[in-house]
Amino acid sequence: MGTFLGHLVPGLALTFLGLWHIINTIKTFCLNGSASFRVKFWFPFDGPFPILLKHLELIFIFSFSIFVISMQVLDFPFLHFAFKLDNFEHATMYLHLAIFSGFSLFAELTHSINILSGVPGIFAASVFGQELFLLHFHSADHVGLEGHYHWLLQLIVFVSFLATLAATSFPTNFSIALILSILVVFQGCWLMNMSFMLWVPKYVPLGCISQLGEGDNGDMSGSAVTCESPEADLRARALANLQFSWILSGILVLTGCVCLKFARKYGMNSPSIKYKQLQGGSEDHLPTIIDSFVKANP
């Protein structure tokens, strides 16, 4: 995981997964309205073959988790069993993701999800909780600028953990569901940002250098960024803070655009909107009805 690809690939996967959840969460809310909205920790795929592809998201998460676990245990790219603490820590993070997706998939296939509706939320919370725990007590020595990027990552994971607990406790709250989806995208984008800023020399902040170790296949591993002076280190940390805020701003702008698009497309068909229109229509015609009644009964 301590490589360019080790952060880029999971970052891409989380970003696409989070975008999928943002779109479906907003769409579901606009279609069903607040009265019948419920938080979902995965969404069925409505493709040309809905029966075969309905559980595509869960299958993808489970398969990807097993793949990453295998690569950590086999110490990719050397493909031999390696008993390294950091590898097992990374594998354990994905173990909890595999547990969540595997349970959710099995519950759906056995039609048990209605009875066990709260369990997937608990397992989803364990994914972020264990990720936070293993990042905070990581055996790898994340110090300096690299440590600052990982500390900001822990901040995202911590808020994601709280949002998942809140979504499990309040399953009809649209705001919590949307916040959780945004945080998944945020974590994915931040991992991708880390992969470039820490493992690609030309993107390393001014005044800092990236020390790279070459693997047998030329892959970058064991990267550590060191700054030449306290001023350079302070400037690099400030840049990381700005990137943190800019990335979140971009995600919020995108989310706002999606909200406006679906509100315009589906908003007038929402059950709550129709109910309000019906109420409003009844009130508008009430004076006319009363006036007609008075005239008919002088």
CA angle 71, 76, 79 (to 5 degrees): 95
Q: Is the pLDDT confidence value at 108 over 80?
A: yes
- For residue 214, list its beta bridge partners: 220
169 vs 2, residue with greater confidence: 169
Two tokens at 199? 């493992």
| pLDDT averaged over every residue in the chain | 85
**Predicted confidence band at 92 (pLDDT cuts at 50, 70, 90)?**
very high
What is the SS3 assignment for the chain? CCCHHHHHHHHHHHHHHHHHHHHHHHHHHHHHHHHHCCCCCCCCCCCCCHHHHCCHHHHHHHHHHHHHHHHHHCCCCCCCCCCCHHHHHHHHHHHHHHHHHHHHHHHHHCCCCCCCCCHHHHHHHHHHHHHHHHHHCCCCCCCHHHHHHHHHHHHHHHHHHHHHHHHHHCCCCHHHHHHHHHHHHHHHHHHHHHHHHHHCHHHCCCCEEEEEEECCCCCEEEEEEEECCHHHHHHHHHHHHHHHHHHHHHHHHHHHHHHHHHHHHHHHHCHHHHHHHHHHHHHHHHHHHHHHHHHHCC
- For residue 226, list its beta bridge partners: 209
Q: How does pLDDT run across 208-238, given as a tens digit for each residue? A: 998 765 443 334 444 468 898 999 999 999 9
Q: How does pLDDT run across 139-150, given as a tens digit for each residue? A: 776 778 999 999
Per-residue pLDDT at 111: 87
Question: Could you tell me the end-to-end alpha-carbon distance of the chain, in angstroms, rounded to an integer?
Answer: 86
213 vs 116, residue with greater confidence: 116
The phi, psi pair for 139, rounded to 5°, reads -75, -25
pTM for the model: 0.85
Q: How does pLDDT run across 233-282, given as a tens digit for each residue? A: 999 999 999 999 999 999 999 999 999 999 998 865 555 555 444 455 54
What is the SS3 assignment for 3-62? CHHHHHHHHHHHHHHHHHHHHHHHHHHHHHHHHHCCCCCCCCCCCCCHHHHCCHHHHHHH
**Predicted confidence band at 16 (pLDDT cuts at 50, 70, 90)?**
very high
Per-residue pLDDT at 142: 74
The phi, psi pair for 193, rounded to 5°, reads -60, -40
Q: What is the mean pLDDT of residues 20-39?
A: 93
